Amino acid sequence: MKRTRTSKGWMREHVNDPYVLLAQKEGYRSRAAYKLMELDERDHLLVAGMAVVDLGAAPGGWTQVLAKRIGKTGTLIAFDILPMDAVHGATVIQGDFREDAALDQLSTALAGKPLDLVVSDMAPNISGIGVADQARSMHLAELALEFSIQHLKPGGNFLVKIFQGDGFDDFVRDARAVFLQVHVRKPKASRDRSTEVYLIGKGMRNSAQ
C-alpha cells in the first residue's frame, strides 16, 4: 500500500512538474534538457563546431540540446546500451562504450577529430536500497571519468551526474587530479529533495592520459 501511494504521488508530481510540461511544449524528450541548458549557460561548456560524446544518452534530451548548441559543424556521438530514436545532428551508437565494437564506431564517427567534451547523465535503475543505489551511481560516474581520461584531448572538459553520499568526496578528489578546475553544481531543474548534483571538470591536464 505504501509503495502504491508513493508511486501515485510521484506520478502526480511528475505530470505537474513545470519542467516536464515545458519539455512537452518545446519538444524535448526529457526534463533533463533544462539541466544541461542551465549548466551550459553558467559554465559555457558548448561551442559551435566542437566534438562531444554523450554517455547514457537515452531518451535523448541532452542529445537534442547538444546538437542544437554545437551546430552543423560540430560532431556529436550519443552512446547508450538501450535503443534510442535518432536525433538530427547526432550519431547514435547502441552499445557499451567500454567495448571495442562501440569504440570502433566512435573512432569512425570522430574521423580523427579531437574530442572536446564528454557528458554523462547516467543513473542506475533504482532498487530503493540506498547503499546499493549509491554504489552503482558512483560506479557509473567512475566509468565516465575513465572514458574521459582515455579519450578527451588535453584541455578538454567533462560533465557528469553524481549523487552526494558515499564515494562523493573521493570522486571529486579524483576529478581534481585530472582537471585544472572542478565545480559542483545543482541546476534549478534538479528536484530539491534529490541528492543529484553535476560535476564539471574543465581543462584536462596533459599528464592525465
- Give the model confidence (pLDDT) of 2-49 as tens digits: 344 445 544 455 556 887 888 887 778 888 999 999 999 999 999 999
pLDDT at 196 over 60: yes
CATH of span 29-204: 3.40.50.150
Paired strand residues for 202? 181
Neighbour-count burial for 53-92, b at 16+ CB within 10 Å, e otherwise: bbbbbbbbbbbbbbbebbeeebbbbbbbeeebeebebbbb
pLDDT of residue 76: 98
Amino acid letter for position 21: L
Q: Is the pTM of this model over 0.85?
A: yes
- Give the model confidence (pLDDT) of 99-139 as tens digits: 999 999 999 999 999 999 999 999 877 777 888 889 999 99
**18-32, 49-63, 165-179: segment of lowest average pLDDT:** 18-32
Instruction: Tell me how crowded residue 105 is: count the other CB atoms within 10 A of its CB.
Output: 18
Of the listed 2, 153, 161, 202, which one is catalytic? 161
Domain ranges in the chain?
29-204
**DSSP per-residue codes, 143-163:** HHHHHHHHHEEEEEEEEEEEE
Annotation marks residue 161 as catalytic = yes
* Spatial separation of the C-alpha atoms in residues 201 and 206, rounded to whole Å: 14
